[in-house]
Amino acid sequence: MRFAAIGSYAGRCPVARRCQLLAVTAGGFYAWRDRPESNRARADRILALQVAAIFHQFKEVYGSPRVWKELREQSEPILCSRKRVARLMQEEGLQAVQARKFKHTTDSDHVQPVAPNHLAQIGPITQPDSAYATDATYIWTRQGWLYLAAVMDLFTRRIVGWAVSHRLTRQLMLTALRNAILQRRPGTGLLHHSDRGSQYASREYRAELRKHGFIASMSGKGNCYDNATMESFFHSLKVERVHRMRYESREEARKDLFDYIEMFYNRKRRHSALGYLSPVAFEERLALS
């Protein structure tokens, strides 16, 4: 790799100086340069280009497991080991975007009724539209905060309803829920899990759940792991898209959220929990089984 680094800086400083800086001999560099490329080195070079193409196609959000899956599932599959992809990404400096910390929006300091945590008691979820989780987060724009409420199907990991507003109110949460109901038409008995926020505990929201025969479930107090799937979604949203953008307006942010949720997250983004399928692809496979 040191010889390759020396070769990549050709014309910028003398070879002898480059070799001295990297503690190798000029003779060794020339021998490496003039040596015929091995079959393995050539294959690695070609594969590295294909890996980089996928990495940049998905806007630098995929690590080696998802890049490897994309390689294997192209129209002309590229068969290689996951460790080899990880090695090439490391050598090429291809690292998925990293997370930032963000605070929660939950306001659990209220006197509204709180539902028990049924999610912790039901065991594995085995059917779509049998259990939903919901939560909200915030996004900064030059016009001020934009709040996003989202509803996820816990079996398929699909975002089945969402809504945005410049205010964090129960109406925002209700709109996201109603959008999910309109799109999916779930039956009675659906488990609806949320945190203990005042919006979810409000009389109007509880009435909406009763109207459709849904079972209310809320996280234990101070237990951030109870709603881990929604935390994971917001983590991906912030790291892979929001923290890399500067929104001039709330409308610009709303359009970008649509692109991320509907066009990328639901339809393209591979989920390890779904065997590295996207939520839509997972649902399509379910329909065929």
Domain-wise residue ranges, the chain: 2-92, 119-288
Does residue 23 have a pLDDT over 70? no
User: What is the crossing angle of helices 82-92 and 64-72, to 10°?
Assistant: 120
Over residues 184-205, the mean pLDDT reads: 93
Over residues 126-136, the mean pLDDT reads: 95
Cα–Cα distance measured from residue 25 to residue 18, given in angstroms and rounded to the nearest whole number: 10
Q: How far apart, in Å, are the Cα atoms of 56 and each of 2, 31, 83, 94, 140?
A: 25, 34, 19, 9, 25
The residue ranges of DSSP E strands in 181-255, in sequence order, are: 191-194, 215-218
pLDDT (tens digit, 9 = 90+) per residue, 253-272?
999 999 999 999 999 999 98
CATH topology of domain 119-288: Nucleotidyltransferase; domain 5 (3.30.420)
Looking at residue 202, its pLDDT comes to 92
pLDDT (tens digit, 9 = 90+) per residue, 54-86?
877 777 778 888 888 888 887 788 888 888 888
pLDDT-based confidence at 7, cuts 50/70/90? low
Q: What is the pTM of this model?
A: 0.71
Looking at residue 105, its pLDDT comes to 53
Q: DSSP readout, 88-105?
A: HHHHHT--PPPP------
266 contacts: CB under 8 Å, gap ≥ 6? 158, 159, 278, 279, 280
Residues of the chain with pLDDT > 90: what percent? 48
Does residue 250 have a pLDDT over 70? yes
